[in-house]
Structure 1
Amino acid sequence: MDARKQKNLKQLGLVAAALIVINFAGSYIFKRFDMTDDKRYTLSEASIKVIEEVKDPLYIDIFLGGDLPPEFKRLQNEIRQVLEEYQVYNSNITFNFVDPLAEEEDVQKNIQEMYALGFSPTNIDMTRKGKKSLIQIFPWAIANMGQKSVRIPLLVNNFMTNKDDNINKSVQLLEYNFSDAITKLAITSKKKIAVIKGNGEMPDKYMSDFLISLKEYYVLGEFNLDSVRGDKQRTLDNLERFDLAIIAKPTEAFTDEEKAVFDQYIMNGGKTLWMVDRVAADLDSLRNAQATTLAIPRDINLDDMFFKYGVRVNANLVQDLLSTPITVQSANGEVPVDWPFSPVVRSRENHPINKNINIVKLEFASQIDTLKNNIKKTVLLESSEQSKTVGIPAQISLYEFVNKINPSQFNKGNQTLGVLLEGKFTSVYENRMKPVKFRNILDKGKETKMIVIADGDIVNYKYANKKLLTEGIDPWLQQNYSNREFLLNCVNYLMDDEGLVKIRGKNVNLRFLDAKKVQEEYTTTQIVTIGLPLLILGLFGLVFTYLRKRAYAK
């Protein structure tokens, strides 16, 4: 064997040995590289923490299999990439793509089963070789662990947003949706929330969906402030056992003793979510022969407390051209009419709480002023630029906007409707006589957070015109409101469960082909994407063959 062959064999042996060493080391040392600009394939620390908590087999079925249009194929691929990342960190996770409409003889049966499971379909246009057809898909997944199951939405359908942007939003929310589902399945230790009663708060019937959603993360308890009439210190002690207090649309004034309980609860670091109506106005009050009502200020005796904390909920009503209609009875049945008192809010996406959510529906909302103090304030909800405020008292008529609406009058700009407050609050009773003498009264509070929303009906999102919405869809806007998602984000953030909130705010930017341009230049596109690579490959083969023959000819 000549020296050249020995050298080649030696090099081959070294390469083989190096590959074996690298492969062996790779089984113990794991590293993946995400080269995308937006780091879409890099899981957040919060997701990794959630994934690592899965101790039992977790099965995920994705009902987005089969032949799909390019944009949904891309969504399908992104789902696969995300779940493959999940599997890297926990082998207990298994996923499978399913096409529920694949078997023609079982299509109707499968569709009925999907409906029974609560999976609503989406109709999409599909174009092949210039021919359009309408197909039905079920953009959902279901996660199963033991005896527990969680539905997972995969497709966003945001108001006034085109198809490509909705797909992009859907991809942005994939990690959140799957991590959220795993959290619901794997959570063991739950924090506590007090749902405040005793001051005419909203009945549970109208906030049941929100409360049921909260139970998947937290322990809920009804807390009646009537107990403050007895042992006031014990009432405060009992309230402080809860991590958060939710106050939804109180209609009766708080006593000074009740305010003092809340004030000291906040001073000691308690979190609060306030959903309050500063004006007494309701659609039910319009159901009379004249179809009119008088909107008057509602005194719930919280103005001085909110003012001290840094906001003022004004006794007015916001009207917005971007609103959902209400129905009135006519000779031809129920017909929709414009109703600026029901604004639908498009998020500014300036905070993880309101990031990647659809429209939020309000009803008879008031405007909020933010005041200067040492508290950090973030506006979470605001009306559109085509808004105005109406002073109170004011007469409201069910028919006042029929053929009378004047867009030029809606020129007062964005009105603040919901605010996040963070910091160390000062007691409303600082330098004042205390209505209750608690132990260890604090005038300067501990670090905490609260959210004030100037509409109690924000939690009543399953109803429109006091009627239950079918599958939660507004029949006139054909939209699912994001009130639940927004309020859940509020609670998660207030409870310091910021991991899921931050995942929800993740940005992913997909680059889409111009479908119209591709259709117009279908033949050219085929030549460029298929013909040109084949031509280059053929030329390379000819050149390589020529050079090889030339080398051996010598």
Structure 2
Amino acid sequence: MNAKHRELISLTLVLILLVLAAASSQRWYHRFDLTDDRRYTISTPTREAIEGVQDVVTVRYFVSSRLDQLSPIPGQIHDLLREYAAVGGGRIQVERLDPTASETAQRARQLGMLPQQIQVVEESQASVATVFSGIQLIYRDEQEIIPVIFEPEDVEYRVTTAIRRLTGGQQQTVGVLFGTDGLRLDSSHRTMQQVLSEGYRVRPLERGESIPPTVDFLFLVGGADLTDRDVLPLDRFLVEGGSMMAAIDGVEIDLDAQLDPQPLSDDHPVLSWLEHHGARIEPRLVLDSRHHSIPVQDVAGERVFHTSEPYPHWIELHHSTVNPNHPLTARFPGLDLFWASPLTLIPGLDREAIPLIHTSADSWLLSRNFATDPQNAQASRTIADERDGRYLVAGEISGVFRPYYEYPDPTEQPGRLLVIADGDFTSDLMGYTDSYYNADFLLNTADWLANEPELMAVRTRSQRDLRLDPGSDSAAIRMHAAWIQLVNIALLPIAVAAAGLLVHIRRRRRTDWRADS
């Protein structure tokens, strides 16, 4: 056999091996994800959801080519969708469509895709581009639409949730009850309605009505205008094993009356009911040195100035002050509270109380003069009633709850109550401070109350509190700052001078040695 025949046989064998490898890769494969947060690696809950697919799920990603040229985000989203197809082994088919063509754009709009306008600067010229970035999922005769998707971190949660709904996973219902006049999902709480609608049916509830059996868990926001008649159905829901988040203000702030503070009485129906079940919210305000600024308007003659004033009533809560062992706060995205009150948990015989979130060590309390006027807020520390720091503002109570009211045949079952001593954090105020991690926290809370640990794991895997944490000890901060100043002002110049002197001495010795030689 000559060399030419050997080369031909070798080439044929290599081609056969490549064909076999390509064929086997449809069944056996391995992909490497080198990103820090493994963003392109499908999580175990998602793999389990894909394994439950009995037919083919078609995933169509509508993305404008213009957006693809301007941002790497569409490529990241498409890579993750391709990972779904790779894991699905034929059960997930991914298509990418460009709505630039008029027919495709019309089709996208008919499906409910929402075009977004983004500002583009090219060659020193600013313009506005209208782009699409949405996903359609089709399974048999059903479909789910994700009208807008711009965050790669949200893709897995939203797509996996849609797949679960399409393939037979029953969508749970969250009941939302507002206990303060003037609050509505379609006006003051549009962000909360939007994020909850991503994974759940949202049902507004009326005060005083019995909680329908179709409601799986409950959000109670505000309580200033609740009566005993309104609280009784909430008590029965909790006693009979319900799960509930109660976001209640100890001091109600009237946004329409120049931030007029209205503390609730100690015997207010909602505060008395919560204390009976192990959560005491005090009608005081907790302020923190970690805080946001509030937009204010100054008028000087005929001129109006818009500025921002530091406002310690709007407190920032970081990962360093939360319970790291609780599933709700283990991967804490961050949380901002607006006019929060101190919370005390009271353990009971058949219930467990778990503290979840504290303020920083540099916090203080106001009991009478609440200093809500932004012009006077900075002086609030001087009139503080307490300066102990680290006040509890959120906690969980779980176990058997005893009825607060008398009603026939109560069926006591273990329930769960998450108490947050502020109702305003759920509102659209989060837009004033870019506190959209409040929305993440609300959806994490919904997953936790709904007993959906798989969805919660998918959602929180990429969540991190990326804000700079100033630390919990102001004295330690000052000590670190002093050390930094010492190093930069004194030690570094001394080290440079010493190094220069050492070099000079070595050169001088070398010169003397040569002269002697």
The TM-score by the shorter chain falls in which range? Answer: 0.5 to 0.7
Q: 1 CA distance for matches of 2:331 and 2:133?
A: 19
Give the one of 444, 455, 463 matched to 1:500.
Answer: 455
CA drift at 1:494: 0.7
Partner residue, 2:29: 31
Partner residue, 2:222: 249
CA contact (8 A) 1:357 1:485 kept: no
> Larger relative CO (CA 8 A, sep 6+): 1 or 2?
1
1:190 aligns with 2:157: no
Partner residue, 2:364: 388
Partner residue, 1:48: 47
CA contact (8 A) 1:201 1:250 kept: no
Give the one of 437, 440, 444 matched to 2:408.
Answer: 437
> What do the CA deviations read for 1:225-257 (whole angstroms, capped 9, x no partner)?
535xxxxxxx4xx544421122111223442x7
> Matched residue of 1:210: which SS?
helix
1:285 aligns with 2:257: yes
Partner residue, 1:306: 274
Kindly provide the amino acid, as one letter, of the partner of residue 92 in structure 1.
Q
Alignment of 1:131-170 (within 5 A): 141-145=133-137, 149-155=145-151
Kindly provide the amino acid, as one letter, of the partner of residue 150 in structure 1.
I
CA contact (8 A) 2:288 2:312 kept: yes
Partner residue, 1:94: 95
Partner residue, 1:217: 199
CA contact (8 A) 1:316 1:389 kept: yes
> Matched residue of 1:343: which SS?
strand
Partner residue, 2:244: 272
> Matched residue of 1:285: which SS?
coil
Alignment of 1:337-376 (within 5 A): 337-347=309-319, 350=324, 353=328, 360-372=335-347, 374-375=351-352
CA gap of 1:194–1:50, structure 2 versus 1, over 3 A, is: same
> What do the CA deviations read for 1:9-31 (whole angstroms, capped 9, x no partner)?
9888877766665555444x233
CA gap of 1:376–1:460, structure 2 versus 1, over 3 A, is: same
CA gap of 1:355–1:134, structure 2 versus 1, over 3 A, is: farther
CA drift at 1:83: 1.9
> What do the CA deviations read for 1:278-309 (whole angstroms, capped 9, x no partner)?
2233233337xxxx656454643244543454
Give the one of 330, 335, 348 matched to 2:299.
Answer: 330
Q: 2 CA distance for matches of 1:499 and 1:455?
A: 28
CA drift at 1:412: 4.3
CA drift at 1:143: 1.0
> What do the CA deviations read for 1:489-548 (whole angstroms, capped 9, x no partner)?
211221123333211222599xxxxxxxxxxxxxxxxxxxxxxxxxxxxxxxxxxxxxxx
CA RMSD of aligned residues (A): 4.6
Name the TM-score, length of structure 2 as normaliser: 0.66
Partner residue, 1:59: 60
CA gap of 1:306–1:199, structure 2 versus 1, over 3 A, is: same
1:226 aligns with 2:208: yes
> Matched residue of 2:286: which SS?
strand
CA drift at 1:405: 6.2
1:121 aligns with 2:137: no
CA contact (8 A) 2:158 2:198 kept: no
CA contact (8 A) 1:143 1:150 kept: yes
Partner residue, 1:490: 445
> Matched residue of 1:281: which SS?
strand
Q: 1 CA distance for matches of 2:222 and 2:358?
A: 19
Report which stretch shifted further, 82-91 or 206-215. 206-215
CA gap of 1:339–1:38, structure 2 versus 1, over 3 A, is: closer
Report which stretch shifted further, 133-142 or 191-200. 133-142
Alignment of 1:370-519 (within 5 A): 370-372=345-347, 374-375=351-352, 377=354, 379=356, 381-391=357-367, 393-394=368-369, 396=371, 398=373, 400-401=375-376, 404=379, 412-421=388-397, 423-428=398-403, 435-438=406-409, 441-442=411-412, 445-446=413-414, 448-461=415-428, 463=429, 473-474=431-432, 477=433, 479=434, 481-507=436-462
Q: 2 CA distance for matches of 1:97 and 1:80?
A: 13
Name the TM-score, length of structure 1 as normaliser: 0.62
Which 5+ residue runs of structure 2 have no aligned equivalent?
102-112, 465-517
Which 5+ residue runs of structure 1 have no aligned equivalent?
104-115, 156-170, 228-234, 464-471, 510-554
CA drift at 1:87: 1.8
CA contact (8 A) 1:152 1:177 kept: no
Kindly provide the amino acid, as one letter, of the partner of residue 247 in structure 1.
L
CA gap of 1:264–1:385, structure 2 versus 1, over 3 A, is: same
CA contact (8 A) 2:366 2:383 kept: no
CA gap of 1:20–1:187, structure 2 versus 1, over 3 A, is: closer
CA gap of 1:358–1:216, structure 2 versus 1, over 3 A, is: closer
CA contact (8 A) 1:328 1:334 kept: yes
CA gap of 1:65–1:365, structure 2 versus 1, over 3 A, is: same
CA contact (8 A) 1:60 1:141 kept: yes
Kindly provide the amino acid, as one letter, of the partner of residue 196 in structure 1.
L
Q: 2 CA distance for matches of 1:318 and 1:383?
A: 8
CA contact (8 A) 1:324 1:343 kept: no
Partner residue, 1:516: none
Percent of aligned positions that are identical: 17
Partner residue, 1:79: 77
> Matched residue of 2:46: which SS?
helix
CA contact (8 A) 1:418 1:454 kept: yes
Q: 1 CA distance for matches of 2:382 and 2:120?
A: 34
CA contact (8 A) 1:492 1:498 kept: yes
Partner residue, 1:206: 188
CA contact (8 A) 2:174 2:219 kept: yes
> What do the CA deviations read for 1:23-57 (whole angstroms, capped 9, x no partner)?
55444x23324464755443113323555658553
